[in-house]
Structure formats: structure tokens, C-alpha cells
Chains A and B, each alone.
Chain A
């Protein structure tokens, strides 16, 4: 019960961090591709 409640409270910031990491990796990839093609990101 203790572990369950602790996990329930802390899993969300962990998931947020995971999503942010994914987005940063994707952004770096897109920046490199944009630079290669001579295009703007936005």
C-alpha cells in the first residue's frame, strides 16, 4: 500500500520527464535535418 501510493504520486513527474526527453531528442533531430536542407524549423 505504501509503495503503491508512493508510486501513484511520483510516477507522473517521471512520465513528464520521459516525454520531455523524447521531445528534446526529436527536436535535435529535426534541427539537424533542417540545417542539412537549408530550411527553417518554423
Chain B
């Protein structure tokens, strides 16, 4: 191990090339060996996507935490701690944890209606049809591709900062390492390795955080440097932190939960009666890990650390380099590699499930897929996705615009998706139109395609306030009944309207995000009220079946439930 000597001299401790390679190949090698214990020559196509749909509490909760903690989690949490002080890490970690919490009640409903589902888009197809399914599937696909690219980028950045290897080498090693252990057994490998990766992550975090705290000077240092925090940073209830970090992230809670196939996959994989304890535990676990690592940003603020090149992502590596002994830096290395790998393998599993089910199974094969071909669709998807992720990460593209649109799409689909599983009047046309109109108006607000002044601004602020009511109402509906949810939604709308009018126009991100929610809900409801359709929810369980079972029935000459339904109609 050696200290670097370049223009960033003494900012970063560097591991030697041999140590770095040992850590990386050791990590991915051990992970690969683990997956050999579950490998089957002829993988079951349903298990490749959702395991046995009876995964136990320990594995499921660990997998949910490991998947949701990605490299960006703690870098962003530390940035939040550095920028906003005392409340910073809370405003990142808490709302991120709530994404896991708020989806589980709806997840129980999805599972109850379609116990053999593999993806949420598959269930949406059974509920509405192809256009709605494809909106869902495409948004999931793009989201997972972005996540994959970000995680590979984090690998490249970590390796280039903490070792003599370069960015591209880091990306290549991480990409090929993750692909190697996920390719054959898919989701089963992802869940199993997530547990080991979580042990590595939490094991590292519980050593690193106290060690940095003590080596930086402990509580004496903190007390002596309170002067470094300005009024907002030292205020646990900082308005600035709430408006700039907490509120936008809070709004995204349901959007990320609905729009992310990695969560849905775990909802369909865990034993049905264990959904609640799994997701409750995952909420606490995720929150504790991410907020804890965010405290490193707060400590950096106390120590007066200046991030190198003004890049906030350097905060944690700098703190690690400054206050950890060499073995601590190695632990930090494993922490980051573990977190990005566990999310990357989940993204690969998510991508393969969507391509297998929603693209091949339900559209190309028109509901009669060949399981063997399906498996190869899944594996080829993983290979292509990894190559794409590696190439895009190496190009260091600015993906902000893509991220913005995916976020908008997810925000726009939240109400139509959730409401579709409770209200039998929602139609495919209402779903599709609501999403498209919401994304269009989001775009106008987000990129200020129309000047946000006068009547235009008031209209958008009104729509955004409706959106706030929708968010509050949906979150309430997760745990209470429809009447209480509507009351809460209306109260939030009424209470917020006087404050939002004339004010929200200055917060473009908040305004546009809430507009997406509000417009999609209003359009969806109004169009559905005009329809005479009354959907029978019992059909979902008949239409969404295990692919392996359906294929076996077809081969034995038995009528499948899907075929029987077609015959009836």
C-alpha cells in the first residue's frame, strides 16, 4: 500500500495494485463460488425471475436492504449531511427507507390478486392491456439501465480514486464480476449473494463509522467545531433542508417504489405471509445503514474538510483516507463494492425478468412462451445490459435528462397503477392518457417551456397542490381505508393551496414532480368516471400464471386457465 503523490497529494490514501486486485477478484470470486452451490443445470424459468415465491424472512429482508443500498445512497447521504448539517442524513436516509415501507401494503394487494406474477408490468397487462404494460415495462427498463450504469460508474470512480488502476479498469472488473455470478441462476443468485454482500456492507460500516468518529477527535472535536455549522445546518428542523432535500425526495417515495422492478421482484419472491415483517425490517435496516454513512458527511463538516475539486462524492473517500488505517480503507473499499454489486445484480435480474416476461412472454410469444427460449432471453439481456452499462459508464455520459424523464414517468404512473388494483372502473385508455398528459405537463414545468408567471404559474401550482394531496392520500391509503385517505388528501390540498400559490413556482423540481402526480390522478379519475367498465379482479390470478406450469400443461394436452378463459370469451 502506498501514499499517492500527485496534485491531490495526501487527499486520498491509495491501495496498491495487488491489494486492489486481490480485494476485487477475491470479492467476485467468492461470490461466484457461492452461486455454484445453487446452480441447476436446467434452471426453472419462474425461479430465474422470482425464486420459489417462498423465500424466507432473513434472505428477503437482507436482499431488499442490499438492493436498495446502492453506491449513490451513501455518497448522496454524506453530501446531504455536509450541505444541510444535522438533519441532512435524515432527509436522505429516512425518505429512501420509506420507499420500502410504503410499497408493502400495496405489494400485498398485488400478490393477493396475482400470486404467480413475475413483474408488475405483467399484472398491468392482465388488468389493462399492452399499452399500459409497455409504459410500465419501458419505465422499469430505463430505470434499471440507469441504475446499472451509475453503479458501474461508482466502481470506476472508487477504483481510480483509491488505487493506481484507472476508471475503465474498475468498470470492466465490476461489470464482468457481477455478470459472472448472476448470469446462470438469475434472481436466485442475486438474493443469495445479497445476504453475503449485506454482511460485508454492514460489517464494514459498523467498524468504519465509529473509527472515523474516534480518529477525527470524537465528541470533543464535535463540540469544539459547532461554530462551523451555520444556523440552518445546526437546526434539526431546518426549512432549507426540508425544501431542498427532504420534500423532493419525499415526493419521489411512491414513484421510486412503483417504478422499480427490483422491489416488485422481491414482493413476488418472498413468502406471502412474510411481506410485512420483511419490508418493515428492510425499512429500518436501509435507514440505519444510509443515515449512518451520511453521518460521515456531517463529521466532514465538523472537521472543516473541503471536498477535492469541489466534488461532493469525494467526501467519504477523503474521510476514509484521512481517518482510517490501511485495513479500514480496505474495508471501505469492500463496503462500496458490496453495495454497488448487490444493486447491479438486482438490476440485471430485473432487466432480464422484464424482457423475459413483458417483451418475450406476453408480446413476442403472445402468451405461449417456450421456457427454454425465455431463459436465453433473460441471459442475453443480462449480457447486453452489462455491455451497455460498461460502455455508458466508461463514456461518463451526463444522464441527468434521462433521469429526469424516468422520474417523471414514474411519478405519472403511481396513481394509475395503484388505483388500478382497487378501483374496477379504471380503463386502459384512462391509464395511458393520464400518464402521457402528466409527462407532457411535467416537461413544460420542469424545463420551463412556458414562462412560470401569471395564470400559467397559478394553474401549475394548483395542479401541483392536487398532486400533494394525491401523494398524501395514497400514503394514507397504504395503511388506512379509502375514506380516511380521501379526507387526508383533501385536507392536505386545502391546507397547502394558500401557501403553494405564488410560492411553488420558484421550486421547479417540486412543482413539476407534484404536477405529474396531480395531473395523472385527475385525468385518470375523470376518464374512468365516464367509463362503463367494471373489471373483475379475479381474472388477474387466471391470466398471470407460472410459465413453467403453463408450458407443462400445454405439453400434456391439458387446457390452461388462460386458454380456458379465451374459449369462454
The chain A residues found within 8 Å of chain B, CB to CB, are 1-3, 5-6, 8-10, 12-17, 19-20, 22-30, 33-34, 39-42
Contact = CB atoms under 8 A, between A and B. Distances in A.
A31 B446 CA distance: 50
Given A5-B223, A40-B52, A16 B58 contact: no
A9 B295 contact: yes
Contact of B62 (A9, A17, A23): A23
Given A12-B292, A16-B206, 10 more contacts: A3-B219, A9-B213, A10-B213, A13-B210, A20-B285, A23-B58, A39-B52, A41-B55, A41-B59, A42-B191
B525 interface: no
Interface in B219-236: 219, 222-223
Contacts of B59: 27, 30, 41-42
Given A19-B284, A20-B202, A42-B191, A27 B213 contact: no
Given A13-B206, A23-B281, A30 B222 contact: no
18 contacts: A3-B219, A10-B213, A13-B210, A13-B288, A13-B292, A17-B202, A19-B202, A19-B288, A23-B285, A29-B58, A30-B56, A30-B57, A30-B59, A33-B56, A41-B56, A41-B192, A42-B38, A42-B47
A10 B198 contact: no
A9 to B, nearest CB: 5
B291 A12 contact: yes
Contacts of B298: 9
Interface of B: 38, 47, 51-52, 55-59, 61-62, 65, 86, 188, 191-192, 195, 198-199, 202-203, 205-206, 209-210, 213, 218-219, 222-223, 281, 284-285, 288-289, 291-292, 295, 298-299
Given A2-B219, A23-B61, A13 B284 contact: no
B55 to A, nearest CB: 6
Interface of B is mostly: helix
**A-B pairs, 10 with minimum CB distance:** A12-B292, A26-B58, A27-B58, A30-B56, A15-B288, A19-B285, A16-B288, A42-B188, A13-B206, A6-B219
A25 B58 CA distance: 8
Nearest to B283: A19
Nearest to A17: B206
Contact of B299 (A9, A13, A22): A9
Contacts of A19: 65, 202, 281, 284-285, 288
A10 B209 contact: yes
Contacts of A3: 219
